[in-house]
Amino acid sequence: MNRQELSALLERLHAELSAAPQVDASLKQALQALDQDIHRLLAEGSEASTATAAPATGEQADINELARTLEARLETEHPYLVGTLRELMDRLGKMGI
């Protein structure tokens, strides 16, 4: 998956979240934090690929942990949104993140 497809998937998750009724502010903030972390890691990965260094594994672990936590919350509070998050997590895993 290229970065454009990943960005499109993140945008789809945000659109679904925006359309969702009664999503609390803390969940929205957590998803925004995940989005920012993913974009930062991708940007660092682009810079690292030109310098032949890999993105920090610790950041990847943090993103994965946040995504799993959000998945659990979405599954209980907004199960119709969890599919998009799972697809995002799967795509990140295929990219090595």
Higher pLDDT, 71 or 95: 71
Dihedral sign, CA of 14, 16, 20, 23? Answer: negative
pLDDT in tens, 46-90: 665 544 444 456 777 788 888 888 888 888 888 888 888 888 888
Domain ranges of the chain: 3-94
What pLDDT, on a 0 to 100 scale, did the predictor assign at position 46?
A: 64
Residue 65 CB contacts under 8 Å (≥ 6 apart), including other chains: none
pLDDT in tens, 31-50: 888 888 888 877 876 665 54
What pLDDT, on a 0 to 100 scale, did the predictor assign at position 24?
A: 83
Q: Is the pTM of this model over 0.85?
A: no
Distance CA 62, CA 25 (A): 21
